[in-house]
Amino acid sequence: MEVVLLGTGAADGIPNPFCRCATCTDHRERGELRTPTSVLVDGRLLIDPGPEAPRQVTRLGRDLTGLVSVLAGHAHSDHLDPAILMHRGWVTDAPLQVVGPAPVVAWSRQWLDGDQTAISFTTVTAGDSLEVAGYRVSVLAANHEAFGEACCYLIEDGSSALLYATDTGLLPETTLAALVGRRADLVLLEETFGPRTDKGERHLHLATFASTLQHLRAIGFIDEGTRVVAVHLAHDNPPLAQLRAELAELGAEALPDGAVIVLD
């Protein structure tokens, strides 16, 4: 499984264009841009088609001609910009499956005139397990809300497994229970707020990110062979060198937009 991190940032990305905090300044000086979190798997499956995802694909010298399915976790605008479906429709009428909880499907449908028959919609809810683009996808409850249900996903191809967990606060008990007896090769876990613990329960900060990893290790879902990458990073996080050091202590890392991870 090849996983391309198209974006690793929170909704506003880093730098936030209105901000000169140490973290935004650090990213500016590095010439580093974090766009909203989005992932391309094997060129076939696009997870969270946010507003920057199509341009990120282009910046990386790739294209989406091989795309078979789109999987969105929830209907916040940094994770779902349905205009991509319209832009695709101007080029091809090859089949494309769009998968997500009910608000994702409702919002995406609004964008398409009725004759876009190339696109099929699959509404999912936590607890579902289905095949998407040739992968086994387990739908997990997120501790998040976006006009209704929000989901995380476990994606397995028979030899490797990816947990995509954003946006979410501390994982619900049902999600942890669903992961017992399974393991991941790669965990993309959100860590939005860094040291800030006062910004609500619907995202993780460094302390809750740490306790989530501890829990996932305790149930054997994460082991020494699992790579853990913090995503959905907001500028509340410390500048990169400090963030990397803090994440390293937790057995996790921060990677730039465009990073490619190959699982075998």
* Residues of this chain that bind Zn ion (CB under 5 A): 11, 16, 19, 21, 24, 76, 78, 167, 235
Q: Identify which of residues 1 and 229 has a Cβ nearer to Zn ion in the complex.
A: 229
Q: Identify which of residues 50 and 89 has a Cβ nearer to Zn ion in the complex.
A: 50
Q: How far is the CB of 132 from Zn ion (least distance, A)?
A: 21
Integer angstrom CA distances of residue 55 from 11, 85, 178? 16, 14, 35
Q: How far is the CB of 33 from Zn ion (least distance, A)?
A: 13
Residue 134: other Cβ atoms inside 10 A: 12
Q: How far is the CB of 196 from Zn ion (least distance, A)?
A: 12
Q: Identify which of residues 11 and 118 has a Cβ nearer to Zn ion in the complex.
A: 11
Q: How far is the CB of 163 from Zn ion (least distance, A)?
A: 17
Q: Which H or E run contains 132?
A: strand 129-132
Q: Which three-class secondary structure state does DSSP give residue 170?
A: coil
Q: Identify which of residues 78 and 156 has a Cβ nearer to Zn ion in the complex.
A: 78
* CB 96 within 8 Å of CB 68: yes
The token duo for 234 is 């907001």
Q: How far is the CB of 131 from Zn ion (least distance, A)?
A: 26
Q: How far is the CB of 149 from Zn ion (least distance, A)?
A: 12
Q: Can the peptide bond before residue 49 be classed as cis, meaning omega within 30 degrees of 0?
A: no
Closest to 148 (Cα-Cα) out of 125, 166, 129? 125
Backbone φ and ψ for 170, nearest 5 degrees, come out as -50, 130
Q: How far is the CB of 188 from Zn ion (least distance, A)?
A: 13
Pair type for strands 135-141 and 129-132: antiparallel
Q: Identify which of residues 69 and 192 has a Cβ nearer to Zn ion in the complex.
A: 192
Q: Identify which of residues 19 and 60 has a Cβ nearer to Zn ion in the complex.
A: 19
Q: Identify which of residues 89 and 103 has a Cβ nearer to Zn ion in the complex.
A: 103
Closest to 71 (Cα-Cα) out of 131, 9, 11, 13? 131
Q: How far from each other are the two terminal CA atoms of the chain, in whole angstroms?
A: 6
Query: In the Cβ-directed half-sphere of 171, how many Cα atoms lie within 13 Å?
Result: 28
